[in-house]
């Protein structure tokens, strides 16, 4: 493993420009003056102290967002101008892409190559995509009985609380901001406590782009900060990405004022490999589908079903690939696997690995910590996993793959669906009808055929069952940020 000293890591990282709260267009300390530390997961060293927003700061941010919505220019602005601002933000992110990528790597620990190739370009794309939608949010004219003219309008929903996790900080912010802003909503965002820095930099770029004060507000802090947003009656909607448990708390609070909610949650996604697949592609897809982003993806293909006749060969070759992964300094462009995000996640993952071993699954590679500095976990593969073991049912959110042999299509469909989750699935086969049978039968919001983790701003993403409600991305996401109004006029 290539190691890096704390000083080296900080030396290649960008200057931390912003650690305050953005409220009503002003950068402010929290009212209490409290801060919290954010750390670099590869070295466990502190990067910066960031303002800790408490209930009173959240209150100020929501008031600013409400004012910008009720009396600011934003919702009434020519939609083309809103689109222009979204494009301007995308341009500024492009101009500062290297800095944003380095901030992601510093705060999250992800390999710089991934941040450069995936997180930042996909986020820029997302802003461009919704910039195009801003002036295309239309209603219908509806023929109704009688002498009436009836039509619908799609109006901006209002003040949106947006709470995001730490696994893709810039990208998750873009998925939330872009459709909300295109629709004319105002935002109070809380980034994850582990990764506040890139979101603060994006907010700086948004001010530079010219978004009016109060349209985008950012409050940094822990879960209680997020909960404070959800408790305020003046917030019309909560868009949340994170754990199912937190979503249940958010929904309970939202029920008090019937806030709209969009929830993008966990998964235990089945990745199904038939013997008639392109085996090289399937092995590469199985590796990428699970180990990408250190296994910290809600759609990770963590349950790998492999048809019995190729199971042995598949496991052998996949293990060889897992062992070739390059763990180490995430600022080294050759690194393919960085550390886990923090000590809690690191310990949780190691605990699941022990539970897998104790339950009798065979750990065919990995199975422990890598090195003695930073939250690195070895790429780990379990074989001989039974469907009811904890490693088979629970979201581990780490580089731990469970493999299950199967015999036929009906059996694998039933086992794939035996989960509370329903976020994503994949199938590998050259048989077109088999592929589409699986695509229709699996209860998941996204199904990839002969590919994995293909994301595009135009393609909706979200969960069935306990993986969430609503859809992000695509035209579908605009419905989350608009209210439908029916207008009927008497022509008589
Ligand atoms: P994860 O396990 O991925 O960290 P969480 O659901 O704990 O998922 O966190 C996702 C986001 O939700 C983070 O920004 C976190 O601070 C926030 N959060 C945690 N608890 C709450 C809560 N009770 N109400 C609102 N937001 C919360």
Q: Which pLDDT tens digit goes with each residue over 183-235?
A: 999 999 999 999 999 999 999 999 999 999 999 999 999 999 999 999 999 99
Share of the chain above pLDDT 70, in %: 97
Active site residues: 264, 298
pLDDT at 12: 54
Q: Which two tokens stand for residue 282?
A: 């399937």
Residues 45, 40: Cα–Cα separation, whole Å: 6
Residue 86 has pLDDT above 70, yes or no: yes
Instruction: Specify the range with the lowest mean pLDDT, choosing from 15-19, 111-115, 141-145, 432-436.
Output: 15-19
Q: Cβ(266) to ligand 1 under 6 A?
A: no
Polymer length in residues for the chain: 492
- Ligand 1 centroid from CA 163, angstroms: 7
User: Which of 226, 252, 263, 346 has most ligand 1 atoms within 8 Å of its beta carbon, as the pocket-test mutant?
Assistant: 226
Residue with the smallest CA separation from ligand 1 atom 27 is 223
User: Beta-carbon neighbour count of residue 76 at 10 Å?
Assistant: 10
Q: Which pLDDT tens digit goes with each residue over 43-69?
A: 999 999 999 999 999 999 999 999 999
Residues 269, 419: Cα–Cα separation, whole Å: 9
Residue 94 has pLDDT above 80, yes or no: yes
Only one residue has tokens 């992800």, namely 110
Q: Which pLDDT tens digit goes with each residue over 14-33?
A: 678 899 999 999 999 999 99
Measured CA angle at 338 (ends 462, 99), to 5 deg: 80
pLDDT at 1: 60
Q: Cβ(227) to ligand 1 under 6 A?
A: yes
pLDDT at 445: 98
Whether the pTM exceeds 0.75: the reply is: yes
Residue 282 has pLDDT above 60, yes or no: yes
At 163, is the pLDDT very low, low, confident or very high (cuts 50, 70, 90)?
A: very high
Bridge partner list, 231: none
Determine which helix (DSSP H) or strand (DSSP E) holds 80, and give its type and residue range. Answer: helix 79-95
Inter-residue contact 225 to 53 (CB < 8 Å):
yes
Q: Which pLDDT tens digit goes with each residue over 179-192?
A: 999 999 999 999 99
Q: Which pLDDT tens digit goes with each residue over 419-463?
A: 999 999 999 999 999 999 999 999 999 999 999 999 999 999 999
Tell me the pLDDT of the chain averaged across its residues: 96
């Amino acid at each position: 493993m290539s190691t890096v000293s704390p000083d080296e890591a900080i030396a290649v990282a960008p200057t931390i420009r912003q650690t305050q709260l953005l409220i009503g267009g002003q950068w402010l300390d929290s009212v209490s003056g409290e801060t919290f530390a954010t750390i670099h997961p590869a070295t466990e060293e502190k990067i910066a102290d960031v303002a800790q927003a408490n209930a009173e700061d959240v209150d100020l941010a929501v008031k600013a967002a409400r004012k910008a919505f009720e009396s600011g220019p934003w919702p009434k602005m020519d939609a083309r101008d809103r689109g222009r601002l979204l494009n301007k933000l995308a341009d500024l992110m492009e101009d500062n892409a290297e800095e944003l990528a380095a901030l992601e790597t510093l705060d999250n620990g992800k390999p710089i190559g991934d941040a450069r190739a995936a997180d930042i370009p996909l986020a820029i794309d997302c802003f461009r995509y919704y910039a195009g939608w801003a002036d295309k949010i239309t209603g219908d004219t509806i023929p109704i009985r009688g002498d009436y003219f009836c039509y619908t309008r799609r109006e901006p929903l209002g003040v949106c609380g947006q709470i995001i996790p730490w696994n893709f900080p810039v990208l998750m912010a873009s998925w939330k901001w872009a459709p909300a802003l295109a629709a004319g909503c105002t935002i109070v965002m809380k980034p994850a406590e582990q990764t506040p820095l890139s979101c603060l930099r994006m907010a700086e770029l948004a001010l530079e782009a010219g978004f009016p004060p109060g349209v985008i507000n950012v409050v940094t802090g822990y879960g209680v900060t997020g909960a404070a947003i959800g408790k305020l009656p003046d917030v019309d909607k909560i868009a949340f990405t994170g754990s199912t448990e937190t979503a249940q708390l958010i929904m309970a609070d939202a029920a008090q004022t019937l806030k709209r909610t969009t929830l993008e949650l966990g998964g235990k996604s089945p990745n199904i490999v038939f013997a008639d697949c392109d085996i090289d592609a399937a092995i590469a897809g199985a590796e990428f589908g699970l180990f990408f982003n250190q296994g910290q993806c809600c759609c990770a293909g963590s349950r790998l079903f492999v048809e019995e006749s190729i199971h042995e060969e598949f496991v052998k070759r996949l293990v060889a690939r897992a062992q070739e992964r390059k763990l180490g300094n995430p600022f080294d462009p050759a690194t393919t696997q960085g550390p886990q995000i923090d000590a809690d996640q690191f310990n949780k993952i190691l605990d699941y690995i022990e539970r897998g071993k104790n339950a009798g699954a065979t750990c065919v590679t990995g199975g422990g910590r890598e090195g003695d500095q930073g939250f690195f976990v070895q790429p780990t593969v379990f074989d001989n996993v039974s469907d009811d073991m904890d490693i088979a049912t629970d979201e581990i959110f780490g580089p731990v793959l469970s493999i299950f042999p199967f015999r036929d299509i009906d059996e694998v469909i039933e086992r794939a669906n035996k989960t509370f989750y329903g976020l994503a699935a994949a199938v590998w086969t050259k048989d077109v009808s088999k592929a589409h049978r699986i695509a229709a039968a699996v209860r998941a919001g996204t199904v990839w055929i002969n590919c994995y983790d293909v994301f595009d701003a135009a393609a909706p993403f979200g969960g069935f069952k306990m993986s969430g409600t609503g859809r992000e991305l695509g035209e579908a996401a605009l419905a989350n940020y608009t209210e439908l109004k029916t207008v009927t006029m008497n022509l008589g």
